[in-house]
Amino acid sequence: MQAVTQALQQHLPLSDEQLLPALSLFPEVLGWDVRDELLPRLEFFDSLGPAGKRLLDTMYDAETGYLQGLRSWSYAVAPKLQLLAGVLGSEQQAAALLASCPSVLKLPVESKLQPVLGCLAAAGVKGEQLAQLLRDCPKLLGEPRESIVARINFLVDVIGGDVADLMAFPQYAMLSLADIIGPRYFFLARQGWLDAFSEPSSGMLQLARVLQPELKAFLADVAQVWR
């Protein structure tokens, strides 16, 4: 018991007043093997530096301290870190992404994260482009796969864009096709504002006009009317 509490307090900012009530909720933690179970998890966060500290902070709960996060490590944290590290290039970057968007920790790997990553890869967003898109829009991992596919198909088939356009305007991937993208695009098209100053095949310029900041408030109102 003493070895467990010493290890926890050595690596975590927990006082006796915080640690003892948490241990009363999860007494099984006291039976963990310090060398083989507890220290590897604690030292892993240490090895990530500031990113590990931020990730650990997202797992803190006022009632259970860090113990709930440590207990659920093997199924709630480790698989997501491994998957995202493969995409982003390092565990530090994966930890930083999870810390910036803690809701990703609640997403199942097989039924949510892998399908989203798979549909982006199928659309041609791979390698460093995929890594950059996730850094820019980590909440994209929580979007329905079908919605992402529909937005990308609209970008390619209707707007005339491609992956380069998506990378230039990553916020596009997070916008509702039914409420924002579609109404804005078709309003601009009907007004003749899309192709007036560019070739119709210029997806980047088309997309820039759809997302043009000064039009957002007005076109958002249009979207509300057209819904």
**Each residue's pLDDT tens digit, 183-211:** 888 877 777 766 544 444 456 667 776 77
CA dist., res. 55 & res. 96, Å (int): 7
Q: State mean pLDDT over 17-21.
A: 85
Mean pLDDT, the chain, as a whole number? 84
Residues sharing a CB contact under 8 Å with residue 140, sequence separation 6 or more, in sequence order: 116, 133, 134, 148, 173, 174
Question: For residue 226, is pLDDT > 60?
Answer: no
Question: Does the predicted model carry a pTM greater than 0.85?
Answer: no
What distances in angstroms separate CA 163 from CA 116, 156, 222, one per listed residue?
16, 9, 28
What's the pLDDT at 130? 96
Q: 23: closest CA among 44, 40, 45, 38?
A: 38
| Dihedral over alpha carbons 23, 28, 31, 33 (to 10 degrees) | -100
Residue 65 DSSP code: B
How much is the CA Rg of the chain, to the nearest whole Å?
23
